[in-house]
Amino acid sequence: VVAGPLPVALHRDGLCAAAGSSCTSGAPVPPPVLEATGVPPDAALASIRLSLGYASTGADVDTALELVPRAVEQLRPAVSASR
């Protein structure tokens, strides 16, 4: 799944996420750090960024681990149909 629609789907469930790296946010290019580490461009374009802060809890991480795969599964049919 290309990362573009994923943050929108996650936001609907209350999880804040961003596509790509902070230095290329909004640009349709693979994050430079992922490219530099050898991540293939298609995989890099499918990356999302989640941040943790001092107030983040284990429950927040558990929620993300539940919501991200579910959102990806919901988006896969739409992405496949658009190809």
pLDDT tens, residue by residue, 17-41? 988 777 665 667 788 888 899 999 8
Q: Which helix (H) or strand (E) holds 6?
A: helix 6-12
Please tell me the pTM assigned to this model: 0.76
The tens digit of pLDDT for each residue in 41-63 reads 888 888 888 999 999 999 999 99
- Can you tell me the distance from the alpha carbon of 42 to that of 36, in angstroms, rounded to the nearest whole number? 14
Q: Identify whether 16 is a catalytic site residue.
A: no
What is the model's pLDDT at position 18? 87
Among residues 14, 22, 23, 81, which one is catalytic?
23
Q: Which two tokens stand for residue 58?
A: 């284990």
Q: Which helix (H) or strand (E) holds 18?
A: strand 18-19
